[in-house]
């Protein structure tokens, strides 16, 4: 890529970072543009970035299934290219999806892997963010003391690197834990401190969440008018951001405040708005809440027909959510079982391969031993032959005749093909397709040259092969030269190494 292209890419990425929180539509357009560009250039690094961006966009839009698919694709690409620089961030983002889906086991796995990446890369900012997410997971599991510790650790890191935005998020999350533990005064102080920082930073998504948290404290402590004001402020921000699930939550919250004020008319309006938006964008958990509250209102005001209608809808969606959860749980268990089966099968195959390799090594050693024994036998026979030939210098005719005959028999035994046939049988038990490969790949090799190749396969040296074949060393060297030429092996390459790899 040239400098101009790099500058354009960097500009697009910066624009995405500025728009992803406040303008999801524009952020999605940027991410899609980068994805198309990466595909046209076959740039896996950029494709990984683009998928991660699209995951962030869909997560901001509460489209968690789509977000998961994009994050998983980004993770796959990251691993393919040897871990992208944002590998940990992708894992963290995927953990966020699992967290909101209620898949806590996979969430903590993703966060822990992400944390390892951030520690290795000494990325303090993302260490703090990941600690915040781990705290959120502990909070979901109602392990509030653990959540508090994670949030405080994140706060310490944020203060160490002087990241005010992160520190504000930590302050907000600590406020949530204090509220859960009943420390409403401490919670409110933490929320208000976080709110001031977020207003300075213009972090609209986080700002809307802190506003809702403050509203929650006021509602719990009975200050309903104050609660209403903060929910309305949060609702306005979420509507501008097209955060549909957030809008559902805000309308449900308003409905609950109106119920506590016995203002059923406005409560019905707010809850029905939440229901309509929930149906349109698939926010079933929020719909369940709306339906339950509408049922309780109509039951309270004596409109039993409508109450029954909402009750039926409530039970239906509750069953749907339960079935989704059951299906997810079963799918996870099946996946875990398949993974276990695969691991066990892999382990069995490895053990079998190890056993076969040991057996092969043993047979190879045995074959080499047999080959050397044949060399020694031939040497011994040759020695006897020479000794008997020496007897021919005697004058005794009978000894001369006997010596000649014995010598003739011994030499005949040395040159017999029986040795080779026996050896070939041993050899083929271990390297059963060796000769077939030689014949197919190098049809010009003669039978004698194939035999020499077999001895080279056993890593025998020229002298040993000469003894084994009852040929001179020079003759074996000539065979080696012809074999190298027929196999078209360059002078710089090792003949034995080449044959060993066949």
List helix spans (H) across 181-303. Answer: 184-201, 204-220, 224-240, 244-260, 264-281, 284-300
| Cα distance between residue 14 and residue 29, in whole Å | 13
DSSP states of 483-497 as a string? Answer: HHHHTT--TTS-HHH
Q: What are phi and psi of 252, to 5 degrees?
A: -60, -40
Q: What is the mean pLDDT of the chain?
A: 84
For range 287-301, the mean pLDDT:
93
Identify the weakest region by mean pLDDT among 85-89, 345-349, 386-390, 441-445: 386-390
Would you state the pLDDT for residue 416? 45
pTM for the whole thing? 0.52
Q: Tell me: pLDDT of 477 over 80.
A: yes
Q: What percent of the chain has pLDDT over 90?
A: 44
The answer for 162, left when phi > 0, alpha when psi is -120 to 50, beta otherwise, is left
Half-sphere exposure of 286 (CA within 13 A, CB side): 27
Q: State the maximum Cα–Cα separation within the chain, in Å, rounded to a whole number.
A: 141
Going by C-alpha positions, the residue among 288, 308, 313 that lies closest to residue 298 is: 308
Q: Return the SS3 of 2.
A: coil
| Cα distance between residue 452 and residue 445, in whole Å | 10
DSSP states of 440-466 as a string? Answer: HH-TT--HHHHHHHHHHHTT--HHHHH
- C-alpha angle 438/441/446, rounded to 5°? 50
Would you state the pLDDT for residue 417? 47
The set of residues, in sequence order, having a beta carbon less than 8 Å from that of 167 and lying 6+ positions away, is 155, 158, 159, 197
Q: How many CB atoms lie within 10 A of CB 319?
A: 10
**Residue 112 vs residue 397, higher pLDDT:** 112
Where does the pLDDT of residue 402 fall: very low under 50, low under 70, confident under 90, or very high at 90 and above? low
| Cα distance between residue 21 and residue 436, in whole Å | 66
Cα 182 versus chain centre, distance = 41
| Cα distance between residue 201 and residue 182, in whole Å | 29
The structure tokens 């009975």 sit at 222
For range 320-338, the mean pLDDT:
75
Buried b (16+ CB within 10 A) or exposed e, 5-43: eeeebeebbeebeebbbbbbeebbebbeebbebbeeeeb
CA pseudo-torsion sign 339, 342, 348, 350: negative
Would you state the pLDDT for residue 223? 95
| Cα distance between residue 365 and residue 372, in whole Å | 11
| Cα distance between residue 170 and residue 359, in whole Å | 61
Distance of CA 121 to CAs 126, 210, 448, 498, Å?
10, 31, 61, 43
Q: Tell me: pLDDT of 66 over 80.
A: yes
Would you state the pLDDT for residue 309? 92
Q: How many CB atoms lie within 10 A of CB 145?
A: 9
Identify the weakest region by mean pLDDT among 206-220, 265-279, 383-397: 383-397
Half-sphere exposure of 319 (CA within 13 A, CB side): 6
| Cα distance between residue 100 and residue 433, in whole Å | 58
Identify the weakest region by mean pLDDT among 51-65, 247-261, 307-321, 411-425: 411-425
| Cα distance between residue 235 and residue 495, in whole Å | 78
Going by C-alpha positions, the residue among 235, 239, 264, 230 that lies closest to residue 250 is: 235
Task: Tell me the per-residue pLDDT of 201-255, one tens digit each, with 9 for 90 and over.
Answer: 877 888 999 999 999 999 999 999 999 999 999 999 999 988 888 999 999 999 9
């Amino acid at each position: 890529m040239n400098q101009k292209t790099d500058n354009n890419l960097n500009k697009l990425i910066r624009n995405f970072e500025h728009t992803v929180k406040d303008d999801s539509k524009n952020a999605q357009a940027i991410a899609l543009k980068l994805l198309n560009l990466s595909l046209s250039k076959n740039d896996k690094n950029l494709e990984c970035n683009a998928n991660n961006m699209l995951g962030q966009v869909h997560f901001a839009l509460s489209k968690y299934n789509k977000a998961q698919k994009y994050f998983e694709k980004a993770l796959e690409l990251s691993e393919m290219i040897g871990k992208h620089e944002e590998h940990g961030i992708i894992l963290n983002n995927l953990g966020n999806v699992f967290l909101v889906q209620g898949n806590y086991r996979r969430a903590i796995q993703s966060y822990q892997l992400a944390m390892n990446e951030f520690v290795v890369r000494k990325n303090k900012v993302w260490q703090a963010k990941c600690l915040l997410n781990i705290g959120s997971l502990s909070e979901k599991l109602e392990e509030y003391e653990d959540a508090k510790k994670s949030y405080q650790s994140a706060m310490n890191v944020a203060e160490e690197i002087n990241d005010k935005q992160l520190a504000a998020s930590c302050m907000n999350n600590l406020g949530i834990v204090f509220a859960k533990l009943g420390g409403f005064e401490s919670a409110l102080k933490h929320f208000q401190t976080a709110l001031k920082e977020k207003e300075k930073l213009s972090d609209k998504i986080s700002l809307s969440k802190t506003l809702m948290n403050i509203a929650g404290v006021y509602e719990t402590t009975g200050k309903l008018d104050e609660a209403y004001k903060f929910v309305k402020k949060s609702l306005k921000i979420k509507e501008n951001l097209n955060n549909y699930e957030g809008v559902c939550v805000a309308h449900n919250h308003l409905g609950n405040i109106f119920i506590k004020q016995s203002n059923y008319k406005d409560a019905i309006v707010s809850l029905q708005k939440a229901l309509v938006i929930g149906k349109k964008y698939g926010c079933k958990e929020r719909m369940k809440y709306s339906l339950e509250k509408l049922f309780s209102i109509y039951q309270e005001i004596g409109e039993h027909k409508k109450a029954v209608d909402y009750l039926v809808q409530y039970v239906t969606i509750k069953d749907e959510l339960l079935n989704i959860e059951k299906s997810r749980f079963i799918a996870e268990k099946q996946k875990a079982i398949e993974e276990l089966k695969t691991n066990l099968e892999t382990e069995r195959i490895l053990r079998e391969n190890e056993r076969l390799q040991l057996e092969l090594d043993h047979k190879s050693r045995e074959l080499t031993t047999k080959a050397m024994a044949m060399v020694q036998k031939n040497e011994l026979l040759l020695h006897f032959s020479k000794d008997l030939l020496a007897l021919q210098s005697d004058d005794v005719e009978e000894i001369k005749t006997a010596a000649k005959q014995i010598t003739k028999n011994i030499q005949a035994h040395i040159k017999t093909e029986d040795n080779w046939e026996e050896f070939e049988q041993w050899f083929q038990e271990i390297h059963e397709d060796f000769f077939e490969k030689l014949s197919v790949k190098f049809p010009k090799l003669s039978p004698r040259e194939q035999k020499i190749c077999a001895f080279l396969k056993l890593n025998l040296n020229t002298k040993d092969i000469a003894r084994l074949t009852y040929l001179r060393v020079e003759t074996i060297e000539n065979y080696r030269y012809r074999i190298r030429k027929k196999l078209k092996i360059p002078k710089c390459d090792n003949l034995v190494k080449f044959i060993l790899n066949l």
